Amino acid sequence: MKSILWAALALFCLAGTAGAQTPPTAEVLHWWTAGGEAKALRVIADRFQAEGGRWIDNPVAGGGGDAARTVAKTRLVGGKPPTMMQWHLGLSLKQLAEEGLLGDVDEVAKEGGWDAALPALIADNARYKGHYVAIPVGIHGENWLWTNPKVLADAGVSVPKTWAEFDAAAAKLKAAGVIPLALGGQGWQQVIVFNAVVLGTQGPGFYRKALVDLDAKALGGPEMVAVFEQLARIKGFIDPGATNRDWNEATQLVIKGRAAMQLMGDWTKGEFAAAGLQPEKDYGCDASPGAGQAYLVAADALAVPKLSDPAQRRGQLLMAKIAMDPKVQRDFSLAKGSVPARRDVPADGFDACSLKAMEKVRNSPDILPALGSSMGVGAAEAGAITDAVAQFFASSMSPTQGARTLRDAIDAIR
């Protein structure tokens, strides 16, 4: 009998040893497939493997991430979740948590002091009921004004700091035969301009009231009418070729000197870099008019699915430790063009535009969710606002009608 017990114990120990030797495993489902994105993810993957982890790369093509999110949701509901999955912080992440589909990495977050290291907006959106259900890896800013310094100088104008200055500069640029504002006739591009106007003319408090709280009086009131009055003036500074133009084609107009300015997110910097241009020398990067230190952001993150496999669970914890490491966050953002989610990452190596963004992320009291980021409103609400703004750009409706259309669009989905 003793021999049988000892044999059983030996088998148990061998099984335990084999289990302990199973490396932390991470199947990572993501849509970071473009050049800079793939290079950035490689920073995390290389470190994960260097620390003994087993990395299983599962890319799903599609820059917007819709296909990847569909695959991820199907697997979550079907009980076969990936170890980690790229996701945006915000309401859609919290919906997954509400459905009981996400786990957490609280033990790593507590040990790493995430609450203190992250901006409040980012930390709040990475948590659900106090638990970290996602790992923030980088922050992108939306309200940037990109300029061609030579074109501005030739027209005798400076970078506009207010919307009144923008109108005056744009009039001079148009008279000089230059496209004042490069824009594409796509709703998501137009709503970036709209967001910048709301922020720059009415301030951060109104932006939050209208585009986060979705207050009916703010959406249809006199302040919003004033926003559409500014949009109407902007329409006069856009060229007829904007209709079918992609955002990067608009950037090329600025690069080539055919246009003076573009309102677009910080991903635009990649186009200037690819053209061999240097920030604050060959091109300018400034806050959108009237924004001051207010910053509209979206955050890249890795969501933490609920799972039972021990090796994958160890993979999640190791991934949380690695992805929030200051050096990893630095190298990730340098490759991707974002800025680190952590506020304590050294600033060395970042270019002038990124340094401006880091200053805002670390010190601005007005870090606000970009409309399409889902940190402020859901996809349906963001879509309704985008459609209303696109209708205004495509029609001859008055500013009052524009504000009413916006309010009605939100009322229709409440």
For residue 140, the cross-strand partners are 298
251: confidence class by pLDDT, cuts 50, 70, 90 = very high
- Reading the block at residue 361, the tokens are 């992320």
DSSP 284: E
Q: Tell me whether the CATH fold assigned to 22-141+298-363 matches the one assigned to 144-296+372-411.
A: yes
Give the C-alpha separation, 41 to 33, whole Å.
Answer: 9
Backbone φ and ψ for 393, nearest 5 degrees, come out as -65, -30
What is the tens place of the pLDDT at every residue in 127-183? 999 999 999 999 999 999 999 999 999 999 999 999 999 999 999 999 999 999 999
Which residue type sits at 217?
K
Across 33-46, average pLDDT? 91
CATH number of 144-296+372-411: 3.40.190.10
pTM: 0.86
What is the tens place of the pLDDT at every residue in 310-339? 999 999 999 999 999 999 999 999 988 899
Give the C-alpha separation, 66 to 60, whole Å.
Answer: 9
Give the C-alpha separation, 18 to 14, whole Å.
Answer: 6
- State the first-to-last Cα distance of the chain, in angstroms, to the nearest integer: 71
120 to 106, 273, 363: CA distances (angstroms):
17, 31, 11
Give the C-alpha separation, 351 to 284, whole Å.
Answer: 12
DSSP 62: -
Across 98-122, average pLDDT? 97
Give the C-alpha separation, 325 to 329, whole Å.
Answer: 6
Q: Which residue do the tokens 């070729």 mark?
A: 241
- Reading the block at residue 29, the tokens are 């489902």
| Cβ proximity of 159 and 152 under 8 Å | yes
Q: Which CATH superfamily is domain 22-141+298-363 in?
A: Periplasmic binding protein-like II (3.40.190.10)
Show the 3-state SS of 168-227: HHHHHHHHCCCEEECCCCCHHHHHHHHHHHHHHHHHHHHHHHHHCCCCHHHHHCHHHHHH
Give the residue extent of every domain in the chain.
22-141+298-363, 144-296+372-411
